[in-house]
Amino acid sequence: MTESMTWVPDGIDLDRPSAARLYDYLLGGGHNFAHDRELAERFLKAQPNARQIARHNRSFLRRSVLFMIDQGVRQFLDLGSGIPTVGNVHEIAHAADPESRVVYVDYEEVAFAHSHLMLTDVPNATIVQADLTVPDAVLDAPETRKLLDFDQPIGLIMAGVFHFVPPEKDPAGIVARYRDATVSGSWLAFSQFTRDLMPEEMDRIVEVMKSSRDPMFPRSRAEIETLFAGYELVEPGIVPTALWHPDAGLDDGDDPDRAGILAGVGRKN
C-alpha cells in the first residue's frame, strides 16, 4: 500500500528510496517513505553513528554560512539542498541580514516540492529543480539569474552532496564551472563522506546505497583538496566536520575522526 500525503508530488516512485529522504529520516524529519526508512535502517546497521554524522554535517552547514556572512557574503547558492529541516540556509542568513538572497537547488521531487511550498511567502529565497552535475542548467535557470548578482561574491554550498557525484561526471570540472561563474572573493563550503576516517563502515555504506537511486562515491582528503583548485582554504583546512570552526571545543563530544565526513571552506582567488 502506498502512502497518501498531501505533500507527495504526483508521479513519484515511492518504492525507490532516495538519499534526500534518507537524510531527512536520519535528521528526524517526516518527509520520507517506508522504503526510505528501510534503507535508512540498513544504513544505520552499516554505520551506527549515522544520525550523529548527519547532525554534524548540518552543524557544519550552519557554521560555514555564519562564517561566510561574517566575511560579507549576502547571497548563497545551495547545491543539493535536500528536504528542508531546522536551520535552513535562508533562515541562518536572514537572521543576520534579511536582504540576504538564497537559491536552493535539488533534483529530488520531495525536496523540491516541500522547499517550493516552504518558500512561497519567503522573500529573497527560491528553489530550482535541477541536477547540480549540470552546472549550466543551474546557473542559467531564470530563478537563479533573477535572485543572484553574479557581479558580487556568492557563497557556494556543497554540503554532504558531492559523494553522490560519480567520477565519470568529472567532479573537478563541475566544481570549476561553478567557481568560474563567480567573482573573486566568492566562497565554497564543501563536505562529503570519506574512507579516510572509518574505511570499514564507509565500505558498508557504499554497498547499502547501491540499492538506492543515489549510489555513493567517498573521496580522500587529497581528492577533496583537488576540488578546491582556485580557492584558498581557510584554517584549519580540510578536517572532520566537528573540527571545522567548532562552537566550543568539539561539538560532537566524541572522537572527531568518527565524523565520517571531511569539510572545508575556501575563498576564490
Confidence bin at 86 (pLDDT 50/70/90): low
Structural domain contains residue 57: yes
Say whether pLDDT at 248 is over 80: no
CA separation for the pair 91, 70 (Å, rounded): 15
Say whether pLDDT at 2 is over 60: no
Q: What is the CA radius of gyration of the chain?
A: 17
- Per residue in 111-169, pLDDT (tens digit) is 888 788 889 899 999 999 999 999 999 999 999 999 999 999 999 999 999 999 999 99
Structural domain contains residue 14: no
Confidence bin at 261 (pLDDT 50/70/90): very high
Alpha-carbon separation of residue 142 from 127, 130, 171, 231 (angstroms): 11, 12, 24, 27
pLDDT of residue 4: 44
| CATH code where residue 183 lies | 3.40.50.150
Query: Cα–chain-centroid distance for residue 44?
Result: 20
Say whether pLDDT at 3 is over 70: no
Structural domain contains residue 82: yes
Q: Which three cell numbers stand for residue 162?
A: 558531492
Structural domain contains residue 4: no
Cell 535528521: give the residue. 27
Structural domain contains residue 213: yes
Q: Which three cell numbers stand for residue 149?
A: 548578482
Domain interval for residue 72 = 19-268
Structural domain contains residue 59: yes
CA separation for the pair 95, 198 (Å, rounded): 36
Our count of domains for the chain comes to 1
Choice among 9-18, 126-135, 188-197, 253-262 with the minimum mean pLDDT:
9-18
Per-residue pLDDT averaged across 183-198, rounded?
A: 96
Structural domain contains residue 8: no
Structural domain contains residue 67: yes
Whole-model pTM above 0.85? yes
pLDDT of residue 19: 80
- Per residue in 206-237, pLDDT (tens digit) is 999 998 888 999 999 999 999 999 999 999 99
